Amino acid sequence: MTRNEKIIQIINQRKPRAQKIQATIHELKTQVSQLQKLGAFAISLSEKSKSETVAKILVQFNTTVSDLVEDIKTELEALKKLKHRFDRPTLNIGVVGRAGQGKSRFLQSLSGLTTAEIPSGDRGHCTGVRSTIYHKANTQTYGEVSFHSESSFLNEVVNPYYEALGITDKPQNLEEFGSGFIPYCPKSLTMQFLKQSLNTSKDIKRIFQNTVIF
């Protein structure tokens, strides 16, 4: 079996799983619709009920149903992401590591590309941001560079650190972030938790900055 045949075989094995997930998604959406109707009916009955006790029970029932609907919606979002992965017509290989450990050279060997397309360590910290390399047959090699906007940089890079540290006073713009102001940390944030959060944030940052997907 050739490499291409093996890849096609793996991709074809995904399709039945994607179909099963789609069937589950359809079933859960149906359940959400029915539960919402049930909750609305309970509220309608509570408004017509002459018994205060019965009305309270019906309102509480609607609250329980609403919580269940939200739980199902959360699972639906996870299933949609999973289905998207199984529907992909490609195999994705993630290469993660510290600077200068050979990620770029490995991808060069794997893809057949050169330092012109995948710069290696002798030209600086080239994979300091995420790079995505696609194989497209019969297509001239080209590159695209995407830059963060102010909002995406704050939301995707800066704010996760504040959230990990439990700090609600997040910067609203780059000027505020670059001012050097250190926000107040809640007293409930102990030094042990602070150290753990910082280490976690550093790990997330290092993984984010040194990830290359082929």
Alpha helices in the chain (DSSP H): 3-48, 52-87, 103-111, 150-153, 159-164, 174-177, 191-209
Helix, strand, or coil (residue 109): helix
pTM over 0.85: no
Instruction: Note the pLDDT tens digit of each residue in 90-128.
Output: 888 888 887 778 888 888 888 788 887 777 766 556 556
Winning range, highest mean pLDDT, from 11-25, 84-98, 138-152: 11-25
Instruction: Note the pLDDT tens digit of each residue in 50-60.
Output: 898 999 999 99
